[in-house]
Amino acid sequence: MIQHTVVLKLKYPKGSPEEKEFLSAVAELAMIPGVLNFQSLRQIGKKNDFDYCLSMEFENMTAYEAYNAHPDHTRFVTTYWAKYVEKFLELDYAPI
């Protein structure tokens, strides 16, 4: 099992229409085949300036790569990610 996470900061302030649009678009990623345990989380730590985290699990690397290449994902990246996200960090986890 692989947990894929992306922690991010939006270009738009909390409570803005753009934030709402972005989070609605994010929620649809959960429907892409192979995505398990999808979560949108608020980053609340004071020691960094990220606002959100998207977290999802994949059974294996094949499922992860299929998600990355899926047209709903690539469309999300060009339509929303590239326009709404100021900075981000991808962190992927596997059991030790």
Q: Which residues bind a second copy (CB under 8 A)?
A: 2-4, 7, 23, 40-45, 47-48, 50, 52-53, 89-96
| Cβ contact 36:73 at 8 Å | no
In the complex, least distance from residue 66 CB atom to a second copy, rounded to whole angstroms: 17
Task: Assign 82 to helix, strand or coil.
Answer: helix
The DSSP 8-state label assigned to residue 11 in this structure reads S
In the complex, least distance from residue 45 CB atom to a second copy, rounded to whole angstroms: 4
| Cβ contact 2:60 at 8 Å | yes
In the complex, least distance from residue 32 CB atom to a second copy, rounded to whole angstroms: 19
| Cβ contact 9:81 at 8 Å | no
